[in-house]
């Protein structure tokens, strides 16, 4: 290409006159050499671009062919037949980290999961919380609750607060009551059988009973003097820790529902005559203690789930059933409400992981 010295227009190499201004063009040897070099460079660049484009197209084609062959022609490899393993065993945590991760306690499990279960059963949570609020208003400064026997009253109140430990106030009230019960534990022999059992049950339910206290308490929960609460107390123990000798308690638990409860507590298979009948289809229990054990047994042995849901929902919306007059006197004016709270929350009394097939 030759540039016109007058107008600067670039003309083809063989042009003698500028195609723009008509000026005569004079070709110098240096211009010819530069034009030849420039032309050769342009041709090289065009050849390189064409080769690059062809290579890219060919690589894309081969990639598509390979993917098609892998998906269509090559069979899938079988899964490796490896034994199961635990990720924790491959990535062990330091001992300090393990110690910082305590197992979920029973009360914490209830705090996290109980509302969902109670809603599924149709329990009236508003009345439940109202009953707890009324109960907390009666707590004394030392953590005890009013009644003819402060130990019995405090044990039952702690159980009612722990049964539904959703609010900070309920958890704090229960903790203060347990502190009071722990403080008088060594003097339990001076109190009534009911007081002894309720104090043990409250501490056991919160997993706050020491081994020494448990060794001291075992006779009090198996002598059959207050069978309903002793059965309730035994159910708070993991199956492997329950006393095997219940000769004094078993005869006091009369009736098909209570027999089922004792079978559950002793991990005994149900006999054929009980399997063939529906012990829950009889008349609804009239007393608070009867309702409590009925609800607890119906939850552990789900023979009549529809009836259980219907009755628990109805009971939670009605006035508390009357309880034993002796229990009422020892545990105070709100004892019937406390038993009703425990009954409504029967599904949270035993952690589900304790359940065994029957």
Which stretches of 184-222 are DSSP H helices? 193-205, 211-217
pTM above 0.75, yes or no: no
Average pLDDT over residues 67-83: 59
Residue 328, pLDDT > 90, answer yes
pLDDT of residue 319: 94
pLDDT of residue 83: 47
pLDDT of residue 15: 74
Residue 96, pLDDT > 70, answer no
Residue 31, pLDDT > 80, answer no
pLDDT of residue 94: 46
Residue 99, pLDDT > 50, answer no
- Token pair, residue 224, equals 């059959």
The least confident of 9-18, 101-110, 114-123, 315-324 is: 101-110
Average pLDDT score, the chain: 79
pLDDT confidence bin for 73, thresholds 50/70/90: low
- How far is residue 185's CA from residue 187's CA, in Å, rounded to a whole number? 5
Residue 61, pLDDT > 50, answer yes
Closest by Cα among 300, 230, 226 to 263: 300
Cα–Cα distances in Å, from 261 out to 275, 291, 331?
Answer: 14, 13, 25
Q: Which of 34-38, 89-93, 101-105, 127-131 ranks highest by mean pLDDT? A: 127-131
Strand-strand pairing, 10-11 and 2-3: antiparallel
The least confident of 21-25, 227-231, 352-356 is: 352-356
Residue 357, pLDDT > 60, answer no
Residue 284, pLDDT > 80, answer no
Angle formed at CA 289 by CA 232 and CA 114, multiple of 5 degrees: 60
- How far is residue 252's CA from residue 248's CA, in Å, rounded to a whole number? 7
Q: Which helix H or strand E contains 275, and what residues bound it?
A: helix 272-275
């Amino acid at each position: 290409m030759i540039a016109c010295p007058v107008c600067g227009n670039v003309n083809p190499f063989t042009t003698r006159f500028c195609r723009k201004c008509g000026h005569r063009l004079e070709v110098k040897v240096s211009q010819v050499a530069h034009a030849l070099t420039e032309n050769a460079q342009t041709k090289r660049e065009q050849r390189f671009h064409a080769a690059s484009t062809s290579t890219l197209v060919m690589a894309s084609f081969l990639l598509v062919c390979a993917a098609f062959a892998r998906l269509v022609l090559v069979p899938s490899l079988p899964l490796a037949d490896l034994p199961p393993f635990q990720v924790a065993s491959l990535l062990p945590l330091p001992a300090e980290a393990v110690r910082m991760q305590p197992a979920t306690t029973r009360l914490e499990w209830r705090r996290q999961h109980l509302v969902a279960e109670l809603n599924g059963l149709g329990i009236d949570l508003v009345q439940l919380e109202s009953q707890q609020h009324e109960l907390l208003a009666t707590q004394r400064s030392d953590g005890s609750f009013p009644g003819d026997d402060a130990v019995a009253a405090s044990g039952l109140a702690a159980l009612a607060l722990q049964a539904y430990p959703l609010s900070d106030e309920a958890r704090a009230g229960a903790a203060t009551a347990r502190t009071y019960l722990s403080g008088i534990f060594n003097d339990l022999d001076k109190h009534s059988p009911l007081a002894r059992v309720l104090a043990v049950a409250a501490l056991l339910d919160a997993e706050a009973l020491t081994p020494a206290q448990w060794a001291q308490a075992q006779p009090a929960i198996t002598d059959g003097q207050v069978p309903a609460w002793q059965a309730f107390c035994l159910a708070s123990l993991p199956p492997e820790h329950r006393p095997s000798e219940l000769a004094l308690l078993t005869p006091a638990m009369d009736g098909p529902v209570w027999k089922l409860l004792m079978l559950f507590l002793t991990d005994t298979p149900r006999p054929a005559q009980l399997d063939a009948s529906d012990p829950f289809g009889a008349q609804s229990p009239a007393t608070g203690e009867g309702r409590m054990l009925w609800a607890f047994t119906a939850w552990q042995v789900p023979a009549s789930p529809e009836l259980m849901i219907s009755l628990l929902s109805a009971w939670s919306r009605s006035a508390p059933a009357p309880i034993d007059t002796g229990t009422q006197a020892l545990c105070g004016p709100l004892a019937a409400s406390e038993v009703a709270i425990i009954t409504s929350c029967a599904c949270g009394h035993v952690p589900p992981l304790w359940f065994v097939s029957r």
